[in-house]
Structure 1
Amino acid sequence: MAKTEHTEESLLFTRVNKATQALPISFEDWEQKAREVLPDGPFDYIAGGSGAEETLASNRTAFSKWAIVPRMLRDVSRRSLGIELFGQSWKTPVLLAPVGMQAIAHPEGELATARAAAAAGVPMVVSTVSAHSLEQIADTMGDAPRWFQLYWSNDREVCASMVKRAETAGYSAIVVTVDTVLLGWKRRDFRNGYSPLREGKGLANYISDPIFCSRLAEVNMENAVEEVLRNIYHPTLNWDDIDYLRQHTGLPILVKGILHPDDAKIAVERGVDGIIVSNHGGRQLDGAISTLDALPAIAEAVEGRIPVLLDSGVRTGADVVKALALGAAAVLIGRPFMYGLAVAGEQGVASVIDTLIQELDVSLALSGASSVEELNSRILVRV
């Protein structure tokens, strides 16, 4: 695993201070800057949750319910943030979550995000509803690590086609989102009358897919949008569909959206390779359990047989420490890098990533650990 170099206090201060002269440093500041540059529709689409946004809020308050009890007098001069997942070594336990239609935040969209992720060595999970095709994003990333997130289609052959394309383009895992059987009740979007999907912002992977295009009488935006809307919400989705997917790829398959420990047990039994504990960032079922509250029971149910990752609500290095201590193998961030993208494009995403990793390194050391592997629930107390 790659070792994180010890950073002297003066060097760290100089680096952070230089960055903050031009760009925000905290999540809250990034959000405020994004609010200033984005119209209501795109901003609320990114920032908002479903219903009364109780789940959106609980994803954050859940972290405040746990306090770190640091260990002292432990040599933390040499630290490692590295992890291994599915036979690959990564610099940090942080991934960029699959966020669709990133061009609503910045004209370069996923391409800017991809360049920043590749430069930082942080894996990017590319959304089915991206504004650029999965092949374009792969070309931008070169050999950098990336996964492909699949929104299930009621047309199974479209799913198989996209997964095969992802394999060919060098993606190393498939993430199946399972919590979007219907569209969440998003009041902000209703109020704004805003749907980037209906505006054709997330069509790139569809209109470049031969199977999907073969379903259209004529390949144009209007027909493509209607075909996507007919297929992207799938109330019949069940575990047999995951079995079908396994028949069409040899890549690791992760299911994203698991919150109940019984579903985690079934995932293991059905041969799923990994779980992402997620409530879609509070964008689907309002009133659902926060991901951090769901994590310990799921980790216990899985018993280390497959990796468990956590999505939704991660904002700081201390958040990452808490999630890893409660059983997550890695975490995903979404809104933080989207705000960075909105404010400063590739540079903004890079700054968000760099700040989070630096803060994680400091939080790890001050917790009394030299590597993320040392973190466990014994350094936490429920408050």
Structure 2
Amino acid sequence: MDSTSADAEPRPEADGFHGPVDGLHCLADAERAADAVLPAAVRDFIAGGSGAEVTLDANRAALDRVFVVPRVLRDVSPCTTEATLLGRPARLPLAVAPVAYQRLVHPEGELAAARAAKAVGVPFTVSTLSSVPVERLTEVGGTVWFQLYWLREPGRALDLVRRAEDAGAAAIVLTVDVPWMGRRLRDVRNRFALPDQVRAAHLAAGRSAAHRLPAGAASALAAHTEAAFSPALTWSSVRALRERTRLPLVLKGVLAAEDAVRAAECGVDAVVVSNHGGRQLDGAVPSADALPDVVTALAGRCEVLLDSGVRGGTDVLRALALGASGVMVGRPPLWGLAVGGEDGVRRVLELLADEFRDALGLAGCPDVAAARELRTVHRQR
């Protein structure tokens, strides 16, 4: 792994790819290309889920069971993918999801990904466990959301919120499904730990538990998050955060309709229907299956985003037809980052934009609002 500082100038020669990114024609191409260049343990860290990876696989299967009923004889010559997310315009109803430690796959890490998201015109979500600080990422000039893990010292969590606000972040995304990290067997078997040059820029400096394997621990990252994250995150914490920040507040990791309703009652601006990409409770309901009940229960009281398993523009259309305001994508931009740095992420996001516009027009929808009026049919298992 390259030890170049995240503050270094761009280094195109360090992009880790040995072919043109314009040779990627779908997200599966990007995944295959990333698999070819990433070390096996890093590839497993990105691709893996928890337990037997039942939910990881089910996310994709659930989306593939959703069939859209297209409309015809509609003028789609002005077909536009533009949307509004959390009160701000976006080129697509899509945001880049928070993914930790992106310098694992490219020397510039989150900085390259944020530049690509700005170029494409979609929000970029920076993780609490980002390997590049939020201040560097907001300097890029795009729309940046800050993802927050609730820490064992709540004051430190609120300090991160203040830091994100001061840096110019446009929203706070509180992850609510990680009292501790799910048991990810690929990381356990690999005894995965961070290399010295990759650090959580928003947490304590120096070597952390994420860089070394404590006695009896099979995953350094699991040990690190158990030490850092609070399992005592509750609705009172959400209310305290709502009172603390003036920014739009999003809860990520909601699957139960009852929890979505309670979130709206706490004044949140959006919920993300997500099972953490199959990386937390194995056996949790696929996000696409949970989405309709959440949308119905909320009845428009706040925005609803879908996360987990989105792998193409047709999935964005499916999510909208099921009632979502938009989607979040996590792994695909990381594949692009591994393959070609900023250019690779941009290529992945442009592919999603092209595929979504194609799906939108072929479904007879001139815009995003029309997509939300489409009917769906669910194929039986």
> How does the TM-score come out when normalised to structure 1?
0.87
Return the alpha-carbon distance in structure 1 between the equivalents of residues 210 and 56 of structure 2. Answer: 31
5 Å-filtered alignment, 1:126-275, equals 126-139=126-139, 141-142=140-141, 144-196=142-194, 201-207=198-204, 220-222=206-208, 229=225, 231-275=227-271
Partners of 1:153 and 1:231 within 8 A in 2? no
How far the C-alpha of 1:271 sits from its partner, in A, is 1.5
5 Å-filtered alignment, 1:62-77, equals 62-77=62-77
State the match for 2:93 in structure 1: 93
Question: Mind listing any 5+ residue stretches in structure 2 that lack a counterpart?
Answer: 1-18, 213-222
Partner SS state of residue 81, structure 1 = coil
Q: Quick one: structure 1 residues 322 and 222, their matched pair in 2 at CA, closer, same or farther if it must change by over 3 Å?
A: closer
Return the alpha-carbon distance in structure 2 between the equivalents of residues 22 and 253 of structure 1. Answer: 36
Q: Quick one: structure 1 residues 260 and 223, their matched pair in 2 at CA, closer, same or farther if it must change by over 3 Å?
A: closer
5 Å-filtered alignment, 1:1-383, equals 22-139=22-139, 141-142=140-141, 144-196=142-194, 201-207=198-204, 220-222=206-208, 229=225, 231-376=227-372, 378-383=374-379
Partner SS state of residue 203, structure 2 = helix
Return the alpha-carbon distance in structure 2 between the equivalents of residues 324 and 294 of structure 1. Answer: 14
Cα-Cα RMSD: 2.0
Partner SS state of residue 148, structure 2 = strand
How far the C-alpha of 1:190 sits from its partner, in A, is 0.7
Matched letter for residue 202 of structure 2:
N
Partner SS state of residue 271, structure 1 = coil
Could you tell me the percent identity over the aligned residues? 44
Matched letter for residue 96 of structure 1:
V
Structure 1 window deviating more from structure 2 (219-228 vs 93-102): it is: 219-228
Partner SS state of residue 347, structure 1 = helix
Q: Quick one: structure 1 residues 246 and 350, their matched pair in 2 at CA, closer, same or farther if it must change by over 3 Å?
A: same
Return the alpha-carbon distance in structure 1 between the equivalents of residues 224 and 162 of structure 2. Answer: 19
How far the C-alpha of 1:243 sits from its partner, in A, is 1.5
Return the alpha-carbon distance in structure 2 between the equivalents of residues 122 and 85 of structure 1. Answer: 9
Return the alpha-carbon distance in structure 2 between the equivalents of residues 265 and 351 of structure 1. Answer: 37
Return the alpha-carbon distance in structure 1 between the equivalents of residues 370 and 238 of structure 2. Answer: 33
Return the alpha-carbon distance in structure 1 between the equivalents of residues 348 and 226 of structure 2. Answer: 36
Return the alpha-carbon distance in structure 2 between the equivalents of residues 160 and 368 of structure 1. Answer: 46
How far the C-alpha of 1:153 sits from its partner, in A, is 0.4
Return the alpha-carbon distance in structure 2 between the equivalents of residues 175 and 249 of structure 1. Answer: 11
Partners of 2:102 and 2:131 within 8 A in 1? yes
Return the alpha-carbon distance in structure 1 between the equivalents of residues 349 and 65 of structure 2. Answer: 25
Partner SS state of residue 315, structure 1 = coil
Aligned length: 351
Partners of 2:180 and 2:226 within 8 A in 1? no
Deviations 1:38-60 (Å, cap 9, x if unpaired)?
A: 11111000011111111111110
Matched letter for residue 78 of structure 1:
P
Partners of 1:311 and 1:331 within 8 A in 2? yes
Return the alpha-carbon distance in structure 2 between the equivalents of residues 233 and 21 of structure 1. Answer: 37
Partner SS state of residue 202, structure 2 = helix
Return the alpha-carbon distance in structure 2 between the equivalents of residues 224 and 316 of structure 1. Answer: 32
How far the C-alpha of 1:247 sits from its partner, in A, is 2.8
Return the alpha-carbon distance in structure 1 between the equivalents of residues 150 and 299 of structure 2. Answer: 28
Q: Quick one: structure 1 residues 379 and 20, their matched pair in 2 at CA, closer, same or farther if it must change by over 3 Å?
A: farther
Matched letter for residue 381 of structure 1:
V
Return the alpha-carbon distance in structure 2 between the equivalents of residues 199 and 51 of structure 1. Answer: 28
> How does the TM-score come out when normalised to structure 2?
0.88
Partners of 1:200 and 1:225 within 8 A in 2? no
Return the alpha-carbon distance in structure 1 between the equivalents of residues 229 and 376 of structure 2. Answer: 39
Partner SS state of residue 77, structure 2 = coil
How far the C-alpha of 1:200 sits from its partner, in A, is 7.2
Partners of 1:71 and 1:379 within 8 A in 2? no
Deviations 1:179-231 (Å, cap 9, x if unpaired)?
A: 110211101001111133x8673421124xxxxxxxxxxx5324897996465
Partners of 1:317 and 1:359 within 8 A in 2? yes
